[in-house]
Chains A and B, each alone.
Chain A
Amino acid sequence: MNKLLTMNKLLTTSAAALIAVCGTAGAWAQSINESELSDPRVRQAIAYAIDMETIAETLFEGAAIPAVGLTSDPANYPKGMNTYSYNPERARELLAEAGWDGSRTLDMVYYYPDQLTADFMAVVQAQLADVGIDMTYRLLEGDVGAQITGRPDDPVNGPSVVEWDMLYGARAAIANQEYFNRFAEGQMPMIPTVEEMLPLVEQVNGTVDPAVQRAGYQQMEGIINENVYILPLYYQQLYIFESDRISRNGAPYGNEQYSYNSDVINWTVEPNEDGERVAYTNAAPMQFFELPWQNLGIWVHSRYAFDTILEADGSLTPIGGELAESYEVSEDGLTLSFTMKEGLKWHDGSDLTAEDVVWSIETAALAPIVQPLVATTIGSIEGADAYKAGEADSISGISVDGRTVTLTFATIDPNMLMSFAQFAPLPKAYLEGVDPLQIQQHEFWQKPVGSGPFMIEEARMNEFTTLVPFPDYHRGVAKIDRIIALPSADGDANLIRNAAAFRADFGYTKNATDVPALEEMEHMNVTAVNIPYTRMFWINQFPRE
């Protein structure tokens, strides 16, 4: 009997040791600087300590998908990715191995002011406490950006430029590279340079070959997963709601935060008692119409009043031209040319020309707030640097021949098609001569003139915006007579009330707590859409002063 017990113990110990070795393979359990959090075993322990499956099912009511990698596409994962399934025992073992003595209290910060986030923090605090890690949490107030960014002088030993141990935040990306690009040397305020990531970041950015990119993503996901440089928590979904009055007539659902072909001109809505086909939505402006280069699709005007040069499908994959009738990429991937459709018009009836497109690209190069992916693409055009530095009057890599615009890139930009599928040109006639730094402050944004299927009829800031079909739209006239948009930003606090009062026929929400309320309404339908939006913990691996 004793022998059996001893055997059992031996086996258990060996198995535990084996698991421990496998679990830390590659990292070999060392701090790389004075911070305990630079020890991968401590970070792995944090990963094992959090029961994300249960949290997703209970706290988030199923409206969260527990994450494995930074990207949600399993094709980007190498074989054997550790899912870090809830295992408090393993967490305690790893902490013991790392010499964690429990004397340090981790300072967790977050920037979402909602109750759900605060509740999530409380759960994480309890689960970490269960394995012996004390944690306090606080909402970042004031200048959030300054508190989460910065670059340590020494990219390995720090000291840290941020004053927290863990940050709960998100990465919303339209291109996979966006998840990894900050691993380029010295660009992370919380992660010491990871040498093996540097060539991989270059690899995925230096090719348009999806297979080469994929291989790079797999390696990077593997490295991050093994060392828990970042701890991905869950993938957030987006929920498209529609009332039973409206029909998309088979048009696809997609990532509503960006521009994609939702075929809005063929949507129909039941006529009201006056026989008018009116659809209500939200996302109207509160003080001004936001430049459609910043948040590419969240506002009603960005989606329906402005067309983009190229077009993407619901997953944001470029599928062809929107304002452009055709496009062509050179074999070396350094030249993109697109030919604009003939007879394009702005909402005021004037011609939309290639000149408008060129002016828009050059203005976006200097505008302060442009979606990072689009900014990167424009910044990669030959001569963009000199233009931005004020050393040239125009971007030398842009040329025009009739309706054809040719862009020559200084370096390969793997996402150039995706960028131009999100980029909406603006009418030069209204904005020419404006300081690009202050383009958003121009009065044009009180009632902008666009090129999309709907044009702005009336804009009463903070009250409503009405949009009516653009009669000269290049794809035909929309079937809905009028869209009435009520003002709201992302995370509409009035959504449920408006939906209950039949004042929300279509729209989307990312707020998981809205979903059950919407689903309870007999006249509302909710469709969940997977989007690249990963909630994660950034762990500060630099020593704090």
Chain B
Amino acid sequence: MLTYFARRLLTLIPMVIVISFLIYLGLELTPGDAVSHMVPPDALSMMDEERLQALRESLGLGKPFIVRYWIWITGVMQGEFGYSLAGGVPISKIFLDRLPATLELSFAALLISTVLGSILGTISALTRGSLTDQSLTVVGMLGVSIPEFFFGLVAILVFALNLNWFPVGGRILPGYDSFWDRLPHLVMPAMVLSIMMTAGVMRYARSSMLDALSRDFIRTARSKGMPEWRVNILHGFRVALTPVIVLIGFRLPVLIGGSVIIEQVFQWPGIGKEFVSAVRSQDYPLVMMVALFSVLAVLIASLIVDLLTAIIDPRVRLGE
């Protein structure tokens, strides 16, 4: 397994380089650059070209594309993530400031959706065809099909503005610092972010559980006179869990990406909000680092899923 793990890790390097090059190329092909976004159009029409060009040069935007990519990728490999073009802030600082907020939100959403989704999916499978099953299926469909921002706006209207249960947005207020101070701010965005994934996990867990319950080993377990709950939980649920874990593993990076919209709606100061702003302002060093982070998150999640699958399901043999 160690050899497999090392080999998979090594294959990440060329994949990351190719993907990062493609993203860099995509940014290059986008019209405009950081400078054209720094100056509002109204003011831009009154600025002379020499000034703009001088600014471009000072930010290193005057060099050819391939040279800029080379400087960037070699810098990253040496641990130099560069600076945001807009404000000169080290990207490492931006990550340190923003990533904890995004991870906090994503993990909270992941936890909620995993627990809720698995439980509800299992209940749905065990009560197949009943009113409960049908109701949960409908709720699951709604959760998957209605966009998160809509849930977010409704949640703000109902729970923040009308009932006044939770703050309208943000992560914390001045003078407060602990996790418990942040918790009221976390509840609504985490719940909203988890809705779609809960629905997804629930549907997946249901079909996976139904599949597991129809297997021979379940019948064997029942024929041995095992209590129904042991058959369902120890035998059925464990096997049903494998595809669900794959889904959850792949959803974590997606969650981080998905938090972009939720961060906007709830004024959550995470990396997603920063990413949107960086893309708008063509702040390519920052865009590249966030993109690189997402790519790595997906690749590493896929590796971890493989490892977990092998641990949970003895039939899986890695590297064979």
Contact = CB atoms under 8 A, between A and B. Distances in A.
Contacts of B87: 287-288, 440-441, 445
Nearest to A442: B88
A214 interface: no
Given A369-B39, A501-B168, A462 B274 contact: yes
Contacts of A287: 84, 86-87, 89, 94, 274, 277
B86 A494 contact: no
A443 B44 CA distance: 25
Contacts of B31: 141-143, 146
Contacts of A170: 42
B41 A169 contact: yes
A146 to B, nearest CB: 6
A500 B88 contact: no
A460 B269 contact: yes
Contacts of B160: 497, 501
A143 B27 CA distance: 12
Contacts of A144: 32, 36, 41, 44
A172 B156 contact: no
B55 A437 contact: yes
B243 interface: no
Nearest to B86: A287
Interface string B80-104: 0001111111000010011000000
B161 A501 contact: yes
Interface string B25-50: 00000111100101111111111000
Given A145-B36, A445-B88, A368 B51 contact: yes
A438 B89 contact: no
Contact of A437 (B36, B58, B94, B97): B58
Grouping DSSP codes into helix (H, G, I), strand (E, B) and loop, the A interface class, with mixed when no group exceeds half, is mixed
Contacts of B203: none
Task: Name the residue in A145, A443, A461 with the highest tally of chain B Cβ atoms < 10 Å from its Cβ.
Answer: A145
Interface residues of B, number: 49
How big is chain A's contact interface, by range? 35 or more
Contacts of A178: 46
B55 A146 contact: no
Interface string A500-517: 110100000000000000
Interface string A426-445: 00000000010110111101
Contact of B161 (A442, A482, A497): A497
Task: Name the residue in B30, B31, B33 with the highest tally of chain A Cβ atoms < 10 Å from its Cβ.
Answer: B31
Contacts of B36: 142-146
A235 to B, nearest CB: 15
Task: Name the residue in A287, A484, A493, A497 with the highest tally of chain B Cβ atoms < 10 Å from its Cβ.
Answer: A287
B167 interface: yes
Contacts of A169: 41-42, 45
A498 interface: yes
B95 to A, nearest CB: 12
B206 interface: no
Contacts of A146: 31-32, 36
Interface in A323-369: 368-369
Contact of A462 (B46, B52, B98): B98
Interface of A: 111, 141-146, 148-149, 169-172, 178, 182, 286-288, 295, 368-369, 371-372, 435, 437-438, 440-443, 445-446, 458, 460-464, 466, 482, 484, 486-487, 493-494, 497-498, 500-501, 503
Interface of B: 30-33, 36, 38-47, 51-52, 54-55, 57-59, 83-89, 94, 97-98, 156, 160-161, 167-174, 264, 267, 269, 273-274, 277
10 contacts: A141-B31, A142-B31, A288-B89, A443-B88, A445-B88, A462-B273, A462-B274, A463-B170, A463-B171, A463-B172
